[in-house]
Structure 1
Amino acid sequence: MSDKPSEDSSSTPEVPDDVWEQFARANERDAPKEPSARARMVTERLRQQEARGETAEGWRTGPAPRRKRGRGVWTALGVLLAVAVAVVALKPSLIPGDPFGSGSSDSAAESPLPDETVAPTAPPSAAAPATPTLDDPFAGSPAKRWADGQAGIVVPKAEAVGGRSKADVAQALRSTRELLIDANLDPATLRGERPEKALDILDPKQSGVLSELKAGLSKPTEKHDPLAMFTRFDPDEVRTVGDVVKTRGRITFEAGKGRAVAVHADYTFVYPVVRADGSTEVTRIIVRRVLDLELSDPATYDVTPGKLTVLRYDRDAGNSACDIHDGWFHPQFPSDAPTSAPPSGPTSDPYDRSKDIRQEKDCGTVSRV
């Protein structure tokens, strides 16, 4: 009987002879063959040895292959290591301690700054953009790394100067710090109460300064402005967020004229605030104050012993409405609609502590809050 299909079949296409012969030869070659008698004998002997637990190694077969058990484990570890290297390459800050010395780890970016000991020569670098919230009111501000409140007002070590004792210098420094705290950080002062502690630090015999400040507290005007010395917010308009006001600056001293202790203070305060109507929109106002004070010698001048004389008090407020003289700072919120003509002054950075604020006279725009 022929393996070639019948040529008279009408249901299948005709296959050429040479193609059919190639198929037949391949089918014959690949078909399973009956093992020889010797092969059957060797197979049976190996099966019996395996059943008895004997080794199957022999001089003809060679050593049995040893399985490399660790190869799969090392392959898996290699894949994991490659993935880890790729992740670290994309974000090196994932490695603790910044081993590559990039200096750009998240922890370094938010770590507290050391105390300011010399005058800065440039504004602080920009912080990562972020919107301030009730939970994080200093987000997006360089002040986030500044000290909290009173902790940022650090006095230098006192030493005798200009014929005044170390104790006199320490008293002048301590009084300056107390003045800054009561005038800019005390919650009662911030909500508009009379800053009695601060007023008591100043020499009552310097009637001009005290009378102007007291007049401004009683009836604010452009000439008698309490904001020249004190930070105040209308409690019916805004309230501060939380208990933290960020502070940064320095206090220095030197010998003054006539055996006086001359003290120089330069501080910036950053206040996060919200509207008093219950809104959760947070903004910030930045107030910088520069004071020149003296603890004068009663033997030389007609002064009150232990009280400070004011030689200079300048301030610059960033993000507060201009040309309003009601004795309150008025922070501007991002959602506020313009209610007056655009500011006429230049754009400035309220965080720039390297500038001389005596030159900041025009009402301008702030570059950041």
Structure 2
Amino acid sequence: MSEEQWAQLVGQLEEGGADAPKEPSARARMVTARLRALDEEAARTQGGRRWGSKSKPAQPWQPDGWRTGPAWQEMNRRGRKRRRVAGALGFVAVVGILLVTMRPSLLTDHLPGGGDSVDAGPLPAETAPPTAAPAESDPDRPTVEEPFRGSPALRWADGAEGITVPEARAVGGISTAQVEEFLRTTRQFLIAANLDPATLRGEKPREALALLDPRQKDVQDMLAGAWTRPDEEHDPLALFTRIDPDDARLSGNVVKTRGRMTVGAGREGSVEAHADYTFVYPVLKAGSQDEVTRTIVRRRLTTVLYDPERFRTTPGTLSFSRYEQYAGNTACRVYDGFLHPSFPSDAPETAPTGAAVDPYDRSRVPTDDGQCGTVTRT
């Protein structure tokens, strides 16, 4: 500094017209040291090299300023991209909700124990009266490959596997061995009357007939004209399942079965077996290769074993104290000795006059009001 400049500075200080130089504060020194350290760290980081690449010159670090962030147009482009992704996800979600609404099985089939999936496994045997009807399932129609598609019977037992007998015990002077044979005979009759292929296609059920006590006059009288001149009073369907071969035939080899059998003392000197079973038959329309439907038959009957020491009976045969039959998806008030399933392509019948019935509901017994009702599902 020249003498003239020095003199001018001294004059200004004396007049108070200039600020004297001040030593930086401790905070300023700390900020300066921090910025210097960051610049050195950035230089070290950016100075490294890899094979085949060029290092960039080190740039001093500084925080983003008001106008050093991303450009507004770039931010708008990012916003539009996020909105497009959100819109696509929303569309997929709406489609998924619609699909699950129309086909609940798409969701329930993948839940533990849900849906009609074969992977869910068969239901355990029925040991007590159900308290409600089976839940609604996939409404899709059956096919030749999947004849029980959309039916609660999908998880029921196959054929004779669903007919089990309770443990035998001596009752009213009748030995355990006699009761055990009686229960086996009752099971054998149910199989021959409702599952035998010859019986189902309309042939005379000779095996099942051989198990009936010829001494029981009312049953024998009912069946006397059932094969030659069936009518309302002489209807073989009261005890046997027969499908008119001119209308349909069994589709596949499986009939689904669910129910139970109990045993107990009857009137003095007798033992009674109470059977309540539902059979689901998939049938193929005559003349068609792919039109399948189902018809459902529920049978409630009580067979009786009388003490042979006190009553005149035929050993090894069955007597009946009750037999009831309820059929779903068959022609109403047709007494020709056959079931006549209705198919989707058939012309609509006369409007039903009776109540609608769920044929899968085993928690209640249908009311026979003499009217032609309709089934809610097959």
TM value normalised by structure 1? 0.71
C-alpha separation in 2, matches of 1:281 and 1:299: 55
Offset, 1:283? 0.7
SS at match of 2:225: helix
- Paired letter, 2:241: T
C-alpha distance in structure 1 between counterparts of 2:278 and 2:41, whole Å: 92
Q: Which residue does the alignment assign to 1:132?
A: 142
SS at match of 2:132: coil
1:251 counterpart residue number: 261
State the Cα distance separating 1:194 from its structure 2 match: 1.0
Give every structure 1 segment of 4 or more consecutive aligned residues whose post-TM-superposition deviation is greater than 6 Å: 58-61
User: Displacement, 1:108?
Assistant: 7.8
Report % sequence identity: 53
Within-5 A mapping of 1:168-179: 168-179=178-189
Counterpart in the other structure of 1:298: 308
Report the number of matched residues. Answer: 289
Does 2:345 match 1:346? Answer: no
1:226 aligns with 2:236: yes
The aligned residue for residue 364 of structure 1 is 373
- In 2, the alpha carbon distance for the partners of 1:365 and 1:115 equals 28
Task: Provide Cα deviations, 1:259-292, integer angstroms capped at 9, x if missing partner.
Answer: 2111000000000111121342111100000001
Structure 1 position 358, deviation (Å): 5.4
Residue identity matched to 1:353: R
Equivalent position of 2:19 in the other structure: none
SS class of match (1:356): coil
Matched position secondary structure for 1:288: strand
User: Residues 13-39 of structure 1: CA distance to partner in whole angstroms, max 9, x if unpaired?
Assistant: xxxxxxxxxxxxxxxxxxxxxxxxxxx
Contact 1:314 1:358 in 2 (8 A): no
How far apart, CA to CA, are the structure 2 residues paired with 1:105 and 1:338? 31
Distance in 2 (CA, whole Å) between partners of 1:241 and 1:221 is 28
Distance 2:208 2:178 in 1: 19
Q: Identify which range, 102-111 or 306-315, moves more after superposition.
A: 102-111
Q: Which residue of 2 aligns with 1:266?
A: 276
Quick one: which amino acid aligns to residue 134 of structure 2? P
CA drift at 1:225: 0.4
Kindly indicate whether residue 340 of structure 2 is the aligned counterpart of residue 330 of structure 1. yes
CA shift, 1:62, in A, is 4.8
CA spacing shift, 1:154–1:361, aligned 2, 3 Å: farther
CA distance in 2, matches of 1:337, 1:314: 30
Read off the aligned partner of 1:120 and give its amino acid letter: P
The 5 Å alignment of 1:28-177 reads 62=44, 103-104=113-114, 107=117, 110-177=120-187
CA distance in 2 between partners of 1:201 and 1:256 (Å): 20
**Of the candidates 165, 178, 183, which is equivalent to residue 193 of structure 2?**
183
Structure 1, unmatched stretches of 5+, are 1-57, 68-86
Q: Distance in 2 between matches of 1:220 and 1:293?
A: 24
- 1:110 touches 1:144 (CA, 8 Å); kept in 2? no
Deviations 1:162-210 (A, max 9, x none): 2221111111110110110000000000011111111111111002202
Secondary structure at the aligned position of 1:217 is classed as coil
Contact 1:320 / 1:329 at 8 angstroms: preserved in 2? yes
Structure 1 Cα separation of the partners of residues 138 and 302 of structure 2: 35
Q: Quote the Cα distance in structure 2 between the aligned partners of 1:104 and 1:307.
A: 43
Using the TM superposition, give the Cα deviation of residue 218 of structure 1 relative to its aligned residue in structure 2, in angstroms.
2.5
Matched, 1:318 2:328: yes
Describe the shift of the 1:66–1:131 C-alpha distance in structure 2 as closer, same or farther (beyond 3 A).
farther
Give the RMSD, CA atoms, in angstroms.
3.0
| Structure 2 gap ranges (5+) | 1-39, 51-92
Distance in 2 (alpha carbons) for counterparts of 1:260 and 1:191: 35
Partner SS, residue 301 of structure 1: coil
* C-alpha separation in 1, matches of 2:241 and 2:42: 100
Q: Structure 1 residue 109: deviation in Å? A: 7.5
The question of whether the paired residues in 2 share the 8 Å contact of 1:161 and 1:255 is answered with: yes
Alpha-carbon deviations, 1:105-146, whole Å to 9, x = none? 775874211000101121111112211000001101101110
Cα gap change, 1:105 to 1:297, in 2 (>3 Å): closer
| TM-score, normalised by the number of residues in structure 2 | 0.70
Q: Given that residues 122 and 157 in structure 2 are in contact (C-alpha distance below 8 angstroms), is that contact kept between their aligned partners in structure 1? A: yes
Q: In the alignment, is residue 204 of structure 1 matched against residue 214 of structure 2?
A: yes
User: Could you tell me which amino acid in structure 2 is paired with residue 345 of structure 1?
Assistant: G
2:116–2:137 Cα contact (<8 Å) kept: no
